[in-house]
């Protein structure tokens, strides 16, 4: 049985954010490394380091919080395309999240990238998730 690694990383980050944990540990794969790298570039994560423990690699990420973070949940993640239902879009129909404030992560023929990069390169692909 295959595991959905993208859903696992999004759920881990969402659960840590809801419980106000600063550190998230997820299994390291090529896809999760790329997604965490995008989250780091977009400013949702402060830093990332790779940790090896008993023949397995993990990514240890530190979430970014604002100082007055008491009642509002800042980080929202939603898995769109899943193993049972793949969602594809061309570059003209990639949705804009909150008018461009959020990001869409896509899997394209040129790798995993954000919606802004895909529109600039004029390539579409599978919509993996929304983050806002």
Both tokens assigned to 4: 């959905």
Both tokens assigned to 3: 């595991």
CATH at residue 7: 3.30.1370.30
The mean per-residue pLDDT over the stretch 21-43 comes to 94
114: left (phi over 0), alpha (psi -120 to 50) or beta: beta
Task: Residue count of the chain, please give it.
Answer: 132
Identify the pLDDT of residue 82.
93
pLDDT in tens, 65-119: 766 555 445 679 999 999 999 999 999 999 999 998 999 999 999 999 999 999 9
Does position 53 have pLDDT exceeding 80, yes or no? yes
Identify the pLDDT of residue 68.
58
Instruction: Provide the number of structural domains found in the chain.
Output: 1
Instruction: Report the percent of the chain where pLDDT is more than 90.
Output: 77
**Which residues span the domain enclosing 42?**
3-129
């Amino acid at each position: 049985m295959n595991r959905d690694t993208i859903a696992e990383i999004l759920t881990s980050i969402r659960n840590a954010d809801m419980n106000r944990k600063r550190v998230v540990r997820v299994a390291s794969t090529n896809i999760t490394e790329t997604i965490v790298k995008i989250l780091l570039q977009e400013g949702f994560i402060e830093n990332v380091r790779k940790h090896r423990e008993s023949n397995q690699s993990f990514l240890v990420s530190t979430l970014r919080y604002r100082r007055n973070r008491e009642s509002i949940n800042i980080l929202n993640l939603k898995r769109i395309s899943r193993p049972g239902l793949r969602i594809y879009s061309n570059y003209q129909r990639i949705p804009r999240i909150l008018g461009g404030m959020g990001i869409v992560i896509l899997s394209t023929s040129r790798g995993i990238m954000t919606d802004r990069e895909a529109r600039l390169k004029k390539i579409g692909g599978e919509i993996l998730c929304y983050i806002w």
